[in-house]
């Protein structure tokens, strides 16, 4: 069993990941600014500001895998802010020999081989373009990192979030850099099934220094 630390473990993606992790018997530690009112049995909840280098260093201790489910919103909003924090986590992961996973967005996925990116298409909400750019920057930094860092970056389907929670089916498809759609042209994944895909990637590592996408 793995020791999994989740940064942003009380958010939508993070909360599903910690739930899936303990359900499959792993040791799971969640970091967030506040302890949630409703807690998942078996999860160790810790508080801390990810902008604090000491908190990040402590989060690495004993972890086999550190997953960042942080979003460039609220106190992490602003060009380069989340990107800088993820770079620090990546450096710590490399130094500690810890695997590093990032939950990113769908905006940087290609809509077809050769492009364009989803964020560049008509209809992509303007309100989310800055978030997409920040997360794409995180991916760029990971791709430019030293070979010693074992990382993976997960882009969910385009319809993913607390506003469309879906149901746990236990079934999903894995892709690369191209957006996955179903026979109706829809791209969806529930929080539970995205989390399952991430935990199963931890259990049976397949994607090393690579991005993958998850959808139905």
pTM of the model: 0.96
Two structure tokens written together for 215: 């959808």
pLDDT in tens, 71-116: 999 999 999 999 999 999 999 999 999 999 999 999 999 999 998 9
Q: What pLDDT does 59 receive?
A: 97
| C-alpha pair distances (Å), 214 with each of 26, 35, 183 | 22, 29, 16
Two structure tokens written together for 75: 């106190």
Region 37-64 average pLDDT: 97
Q: 180's torsion region: left (phi>0), alpha (psi -120 to 50) or beta? A: beta
Q: What pLDDT does 113 receive?
A: 94
Task: List domains and CATH numbers for the chain.
Answer: 3-215 (3.40.50.720)
Q: How far apart are CA 60 and CA 85, in angstroms?
A: 14
pLDDT in tens, 158-172: 999 998 899 999 999
Q: What's the whole-number average pLDDT of the chain?
A: 97
pLDDT in tens, 160-214: 999 889 999 999 999 999 999 999 999 999 999 999 999 999 999 999 999 999 9
Two structure tokens written together for 173: 């498809």
- Residue 159: helix, strand or coil by DSSP? strand
Q: What share of the chain is helix, strand, coil (3-state, %, to 5)?
A: 35, 20, 45
Contact 17, 199 (CB under 8 A): yes
pLDDT confidence tier of residue 18, bands split at 50, 70 and 90: very high
First CA to last CA across the chain, in angstroms?
27
Q: What pLDDT does 209 receive?
A: 98
């Amino acid at each position: 069993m793995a020791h999994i630390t989740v940064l942003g473990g009380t958010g939508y993606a993070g909360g599903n990941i910690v739930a899936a992790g303990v359900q499959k018997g792993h040791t799971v530690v969640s970091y967030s600014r506040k302890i949630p009112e409703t807690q998942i049995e078996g999860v160790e909840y810790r508080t801390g500001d990810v902008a604090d280098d000491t908190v990040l260093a402590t989060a690495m201790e004993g972890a086999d895998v550190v997953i960042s489910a942080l979003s460039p919103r609220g106190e992490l909003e602003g060009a380069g802010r989340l990107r800088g924090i993820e770079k620090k986590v990546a450096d710590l992961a490399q130094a500690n020999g810890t695997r590093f996973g990032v939950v990113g967005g769908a905006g940087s996925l290609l809509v077809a081989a050769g492009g364009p990116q989803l964020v560049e298409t008509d209809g992509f909400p303007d309100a989310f373009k800055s978030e997409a750019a920040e997360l794409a920057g995180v991916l760029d930094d990971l791709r430019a990192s030293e070979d010693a860092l074992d990382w993976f970056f997960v882009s969910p389907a385009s319809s993913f979030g607390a506003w469309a929670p879906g149901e746990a089916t236990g079934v999903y498809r894995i892709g690369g850099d191209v957006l996955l759609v179903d026979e109706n042209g829809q791209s969806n994944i529930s929080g539970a099934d995205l989390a399952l895909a991430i935990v199963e990637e931890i259990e049976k590592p397949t994607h090393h220094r690579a991005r993958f996408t998850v959808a139905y």
